[in-house]
Chain A
Amino acid sequence: MKHTISVLLQNKPGVLSRVTGLFSGRGFNIESLCVAETLDPGVSSLTVVSRGDNSVVEQITKQLHKLIDVIKVTDITDKEYVEREMVLIRMKAEAHTRAEVLRVVDIFRGKVVDVSAKSYAVELTGSASKIQAVIDILRPIGIKEIVRTGIIAMSRANKTK
């Protein structure tokens, strides 16, 4: 099963390598990984998406927590959370497909960020499933290149109060 794990860690040289080294050394898989500074420049937040049964994911979270530079590990999969991914797609945009590309991009609330005689580069954000849906629809029209950020995620605020 797919798990989204949110990690807070010290923003120090080599920390990312400790995390990725742990995954490769122990045979855990990484579907996507995103890391950047938080409000506190001394702390980074990392979102990693991995796959495995419960005991594997339990080991992943425990092993991550064991790293000295890791402050907090949360498996947010079973919690309420918002996930977003951004993708940049360069589309073939010949005369007969240009309008179709724009229509699809519009439906998915994307925007065109680069234009040439034969291509559009479009930017889209959304959940991983939305991004996948866009890609599935655009693929038959002609995708030339694709770059995805990987997922970032945040738990939803407690709504009871």
Chain B
Amino acid sequence: MGKVTGSQAVVRCLQEEGVKIIFGYPGGAVIDLYDALMDADIENVLVRHEQGAVHAADGLARVTGQVGVALLTSGPGATNGVTGIATAYMDSIPLVVLTGQVPRALIGNDAFQEVDIVGITRPCTKHNYLVSKIEDLVPTIREAFHIARTGRPGPVLVDLPKDLLASQLTYPEKKDVNMLSYQPTYKPHPIQIEKACKKIIKATKPVLYVGGGVILSDASRELTELAIKLNIPVTMTLMGLGAFPGTHELSMGMLGMHGTYTANMAVAECDLLIAVGARFDDRVTGKLAEFASQAEIIHIDIDPTSISKNVKVHIPIVADCKNALTAINDWFATKANINLEEEAARHRPWFDLIRQWTIDHPLCYKENNDIIKPQYVIEMLHKCTGGQAIITTEVGQNQMWAAQFYKFDHPRHFVTSGGLGTMGFGLPAAIGAQMAYPDKTVIDIAGDGSIQMNIQELATARQYKCPVKVAILNNSYLGMVRQWQELFYAKRYASTTMDVTPDFVDLARAYGAVGLRATTKSEVEPVIKEALATNNTVIMDFKIEKEEGVYPMVPAGKSNTEMLLV
């Protein structure tokens, strides 16, 4: 086999891994790699800011389940990507981020565009590498993909010195990666499964508390089977939305700070909490001591560090969610002495109580016939897309209203920065999702604040003919912080009024996209319909009720049962 350059080897690795699209921004340190990519059958998307590249790769990974790839140059290129990497890390999204580095001889010399990106990203990557020997190049990239996609997924960064990309090597044959010190546990322990199943049988008031892990392990079907077969009500975290059909009668919607009344009451009152691929985040639990305080807790997670980190767990099951749920379903299917219908019937009084909570305190808002309510916009988006769109969000009120009012029926259709809460995530993530599924409707639900954090990516959307739709819920405020100021800071709106924002309709036009605006309720549906019928990037500017809040709301540090309601 002949020699290839380091750059050609990297490209070949990407092809071996099945990468079809990468997102990036060129620069001196990666110019060789960009040159080699020109000869490959890989679509190379030029973003307008490196943060956008990582978010777009992240969006692609979230909707497809494949590893997203971003390519950044050294120094500022790499540091601009850090927010994107941290976003993916907090939400366990598989990414491989390739960064250029100055030539090996210059490392440590404060060379032009040099930064210790491996040092900088050590706490926000699952793992990272500086490749310092040419013979390590290909094995390292293979390892990076392996680590990114296995176990609890996450971003892996590989730093590539410029001279290494230009030097020659013999491309090593493809081998399976086997790492002595990295062996994730996929299979659940049968004794733990049996213990869990026996608890589930005994429970009279069980709740399934479902997180992003179920989506990451593609376990929605197994979860849905378990919930329906045993008649167990389901609540989902922000990251878990879509893991169980949001329109199903067993779905209680989201729990936590902006969760539904029903979900929060059910968790407070349940006698068994079955946590699946969730990590008891502070936005979910509220005051820890009062979270599920009546319940025994079963916790399924592939990452042992998630178990008993915040809340003491009675039955830990370290395993891939899909494997664990399959084992539980199998246990119920094969134990002949268990009558599933009787089991389901035993949960019925509990389910009736839950239904009553929903009747008493449904998820709702004060309707208005003239002024546009943001929740109404989301409901109309749901209606006009038949609930089938991929929805990305920015962060803040827009994100919470999207989570509450767009009833997600399918996994991998809700793309949001849950853990890090990164404003500016939605638009580039929507581009990544749209590049992966050109025929799907992809909508970024945004606020007028967030959208301006990566607005430049409209140019990327236009260049690659991504017909993403951006729905701006425009209240001329940084709405979520304003809401906190309204409730807890005596309405002192410090730095949350955005008196000057661009005319988003004109702005869309300036980018060659389509701009539409709705200022009254009756204009909402026609605007959405027009946007959906337009085969171009569209910005919809909805002038919404300025001081609308997100409710229910659990004030920070309070118990989840102390909700402020509409």
CA of A62 to CA of B304, assembled, Å: 7
Answer whether residue B191 sits at the interface, using C-beta atoms and an 8 A cutoff. no
CA of A55 to CA of B305, assembled, Å: 11
Answer whether residue B557 sits at the interface, using C-beta atoms and an 8 A cutoff. no
- B122 partner, pick from A18, A58, A65, A66, beta carbons under 8 A: A18
Residues of A within 8 A of B119 (CB): 14, 17
List the A residue with the shortest CB-CB distance to B306.
A62
Known A17-B122, A21-B123, A68-B126; judge A62-B305 contact (CB<8 A).
yes
List the A residue with the shortest CB-CB distance to B122.
A21
List the A residue with the shortest CB-CB distance to B312.
A55
List the B residue with the shortest CB-CB distance to A26.
B123
Answer whether residue A71 sits at the interface, using C-beta atoms and an 8 A cutoff. yes
CB proximity of B302 to chain A, nearest CB, Å:
11
Give B147-186 as 1s and 0s: 1 = Cβ < 8 Å from A's Cβ atoms.
1000000000000000000000000000000011110000
* Complex contact A70–B122 (CB within 8 A): no
Q: Tell me the residues in window 63-122 of chain A with beta carbons closer than 8 Å to chain B beta carbons.
A: 63, 65-66, 68-71
Answer whether residue B529 sits at the interface, using C-beta atoms and an 8 A cutoff. no
Known A66-B303, A68-B126, A68-B127; judge A9-B181 contact (CB<8 A).
yes
**Chief secondary structure at chain A's binding surface:** helix
Known A59-B305, A62-B304, A65-B304; judge A25-B123 contact (CB<8 A).
yes
Q: Tell me the residues in window 7-62 of chain A with beta carbons closer than 8 Å to chain B beta carbons.
A: 9-10, 13-14, 17-18, 21, 25, 55, 58-59, 62
Residues of B within 8 A of A70 (CB): 181
Residues of A within 8 A of B305 (CB): 59, 62-63, 66
* Complex contact A14–B181 (CB within 8 A): no
**10 pairs of residues in contact across A and B, judged by CB atoms under 8 Å:** A10-B181, A21-B123, A25-B123, A63-B305, A65-B304, A68-B147, A68-B181, A69-B181, A70-B181, A71-B180
Residues of A within 8 A of B126 (CB): 68
Give B108-151 as 1s and 0s: 1 = Cβ < 8 Å from A's Cβ atoms.
00000000001100110011001010000000000000010000
Q: Which residues of B line the A interface, CB within 8 A?
A: 118-119, 122-123, 126-127, 130, 132, 147, 179-182, 303-305, 308-309, 312
List the A residue with the shortest CB-CB distance to B304.
A62
Closest 6 pairs between A and B when the two form their complex, measured CB to CB: A68-B127, A62-B305, A71-B181, A62-B304, A25-B123, A68-B182
CA of A69 to CA of B127, assembled, Å: 9
Residues of B within 8 A of A65 (CB): 304
CB proximity of A66 to chain B, nearest CB, Å:
5
CA of A65 to CA of B181, assembled, Å: 9
Q: Which residues of A line the B interface, CB within 8 A?
A: 9-10, 13-14, 17-18, 21, 25, 55, 58-59, 62-63, 65-66, 68-71
* Complex contact A55–B308 (CB within 8 A): yes
* Complex contact B309–A59 (CB within 8 A): yes
CA of A73 to CA of B308, assembled, Å: 18
Residues of A within 8 A of B123 (CB): 21, 25
CB proximity of B94 to chain A, nearest CB, Å:
14
> Most chain-B Cβ atoms within 10 A of its Cβ — which of A9, A10, A62, A68?
A68
Residues of A within 8 A of B147 (CB): 68
CB proximity of B291 to chain A, nearest CB, Å:
16
CB proximity of A6 to chain B, nearest CB, Å:
15
CA of A18 to CA of B304, assembled, Å: 19
CA of A6 to CA of B200, assembled, Å: 38
List the A residue with the shortest CB-CB distance to B128.
A14
Residues of A within 8 A of B180 (CB): 10, 71
CA of A58 to CA of B132, assembled, Å: 35
* Complex contact B122–A68 (CB within 8 A): no
CB proximity of A10 to chain B, nearest CB, Å:
6
CB proximity of B408 to chain A, nearest CB, Å:
30
Known A17-B119, A17-B122, A25-B123; judge A68-B303 contact (CB<8 A).
no
| Given A59-B309, A65-B304, 17 other A-B residues pairs in contact with their CB atoms under 8 A | A10-B181, A13-B132, A14-B130, A17-B119, A17-B122, A18-B122, A21-B123, A25-B123, A59-B305, A63-B305, A66-B303, A66-B304, A66-B305, A68-B181, A70-B181, A71-B180, A71-B181
CB proximity of B213 to chain A, nearest CB, Å:
15
CA of A17 to CA of B130, assembled, Å: 14
CB proximity of B1 to chain A, nearest CB, Å:
28
List the B residue with the shortest CB-CB distance to A60.
B305
* Complex contact B118–A58 (CB within 8 A): no
List the B residue with the shortest CB-CB distance to A8.
B181
CA of A20 to CA of B181, assembled, Å: 18
CB proximity of A140 to chain B, nearest CB, Å:
45
List the A residue with the shortest CB-CB distance to B132.
A13
CA of A70 to CA of B183, assembled, Å: 11
